[in-house]
Structure 1
Amino acid sequence: MKKQKKLLVLGGTMSTLDVVKTAKHMGIEVTVADYLEDGIAKKEADHAAIISTTDYPALINYIQEHDIDGVFTGASEFNIKNMIELCEKAGLPVYASKEQWDICSNKKRFKKLCEQYEVPTVPAYSFDSQTQSIDYASIHYPVIVKPVDSYSGHGISICQNALELKAGIEYALENSISKQLIIEKYMRGKNVEAYYIVQNGKVKLMSLSDRITRNDQDGSPVPVAFHHPSKYIQKYITKVNDKVCAMFENFGLKQGVFFMEAFYDEDNFYFYEMGYRLNATMEYKFVEHFEHYNPLEFMIQYAVEGIFGNKSVTDTKASIFQGAACELSPLLKKGTISKIEGLEEIKQDASILYVHQLHFEQDRIDSTGTLDQNFARIHVVAANSDLLYDKIKWILKTLRVYDEHGEQMILPYRKEEVTR
């Protein structure tokens, strides 16, 4: 009888919930570990361990005592670093090396990699992190200031003048572990996000989405919708896709998934960051629906078996979904959630693949301009764009989230955010 595989998942929050559900669906026995006594992913798992995800000796002891086959986590960059370190110490399969992770997760090092392979990036200004000096006279505003190692929009500022830039630099440094930042031209072009899979050293584009953001709140632009496929996908494939594939194949990526964010401006694409990991947008739901394989399952299989999928998916050209899809991410105003209406009705609709709810009744929303504002990630599909837009309008009409004063907390969508 074949031994049931065992997976240790680092982190028991929402970021690993679908990892746990997917692994269990694959017939894998799942343990979730972190320092908390409770957690939504821990409730879903077969076992829970109260061990910090940075306590490598204790985790290795647990792995050995319970005959664990592999370690994995969700989109948390903090726990991905811990996963890589733990897997290397325990001799378990891991899709990324420390060096690959450090380059791909650092905005400045990623830009240097792109420049090496002539992949276009957003123009940047020189900033000396040690002396914190900059030639303010050389700056053409507006600019955007970002920590090189932040995520979810934290530490980011859009600056219109020298005074705002000084404040933005201070804010970025406060939110950077490495105390490094990057200052770039504030791009006014369209935002796109590319999703790739790497299998046995071959790189393939899975999808390109139009990343719709709004920046009328304090902080950085926050995405409210991801429309698949992007209306620029043919230009993307023609102009930059081959360069991106060649860059990462030469860089030495072997297995996994990654995403890249770029602006489309004046008939060209300019990249500004990437993630060598699962994306919080969970676009693998659309890949599974349209392409009939699940990248998350491939990642989990690699963690426990060292095999990245049971079929080849990179031996064909970049694919375009035969249909339309959107990951809808409604934003919430500040306040405390007192009541949610319509969500269960939405979940029952045949066009809804998945609803990843991020906030619940009694949750408090205190910040704006970060991903903390997202109420949920609603994955909707349709046969064509017109049907998709009708369904999105129905979702926005049906969903209601009220604050403690009975006021609607969801920020109204604009026409261009719904219909492109």
Structure 2
Amino acid sequence: MLRRLDLRGQSLTTAQLRRLVPRAEVDVERATRAVMPILEDVEARGVAALIEITGRLDGVQLTDIRVPAEAMTEALDGLDPAVREALEESIRRAQIVHADQARTDVTTQVVPGGTVTERWIPVERVGLYVPGGLAVYPSSVVMNVVPAQVAGVGSIAVTSPPQPEFGGLPHPTILAACALLGIDEVYAVGGAQAIAMFAYGTEASEPVDVVTGPGNIYVTAAKRQLRGLIGIDSEAGPTEIAVLADDTADADNVAADLISQAEHDPMAGSVLVTPSEELAAAVDAALARLVPQAKHAERIEVALRGSQSGTVLVDDIEQGLKVVDAYAAEHLEIQTADAPAVAARVRNAGCIFVGAYSPVSLGDYCAGSNHVLPTGGFARHSSGLSVQSFLRGVHVVDYDEQALADTEPYVTALADAEDLPAHGAAVRIRFEARDER
């Protein structure tokens, strides 16, 4: 089922590997051209534009974009007890992990009388996007809200696409997750128009400082276009999993994990990297058996047969590590002998799952880690969502008179070297005035 890419016996550069490894093709530039009129319309007309665009694109006629409080209460009251318990446990575990990411102010004495303090200040207001579409993502509510709350963000708004079958409200499980977390500002707006609402503000909602959360290509295009006016987490593309495995791996486990990500989207990427032809064949056989049994078999098969998925054959784990580092997967599983040691050598991945009992599905829901992760190779330079995503480090400089006097010759020398003499003069004037007295 998975196409094969045989790299054995080849010595390839990182650039060559990046071109060769399977990857979903996403044309964000084309999507940006499509969303520009939407962004401009929301900026100009606010709520009226949001209601009109939602009717046109989502087939839902709204009278108000904000979800009423009673709908949140009803959603929580009607939540399946087993789902509520699972969400509460997911929240608890995420809070434990993210609490350890909290930052404390640090003051460094540079010279006697001269200090620099790094203060960590949360952004004032954030907008959190929870996707709709082919699946329901209450887990994304947890993953976005918890780090923002731990960071100390004072104002949190959530938006999710309206669903015709639920009277134009977001899915009730999403509303229930918001209620569990104490979020009462929720909007029934999706797509690029939701990002515009957050960025520009409307008569019904204040603008935000940061927008996080995954979405479709139009959400990604809107985030790219509005970046700078707002901070963003990353440009999310189709989900992806890479599994680095050797002949110690269980083929059924590997196949099930590849299927689990293919279930998200026909464009999802599922990549196996292995030195074992026997394992590759066994995984193909397991996929042929397991895919037809899956609820979303058609969607899964399209994803697995797509150019973004495949099996990469390598000489050994050493070459396999080079391949997965070049790929920089959103999710990377290590199912090899001595998996912890192999995982410790990985440099590029959104999240690393170690061994047979740490599947990606665990991270999606209840590991305590965050599942909002960089895709499309962005893990080479970007991190997943964390408390840090909602904090700004601000340096506070505090020098007394003598500490500045001692430093004046250095400032003057560097200012003169850069032909910026007024910089040095701004220091010297303080002491010239003192000496004249």
What's the TM-score bracket when you normalise by the shorter of the two chains?
A: 0.3 to 0.5
TM-score (norm. length: structure 2): 0.33
Structure showing greater relative contact order (alpha-carbon pairs closer than 8 Å, 6 or more residues apart) = 2
> Which has a greater percent of strand?
1
Larger radius of gyration: 2
TM-score (norm: length of structure 1)? 0.34
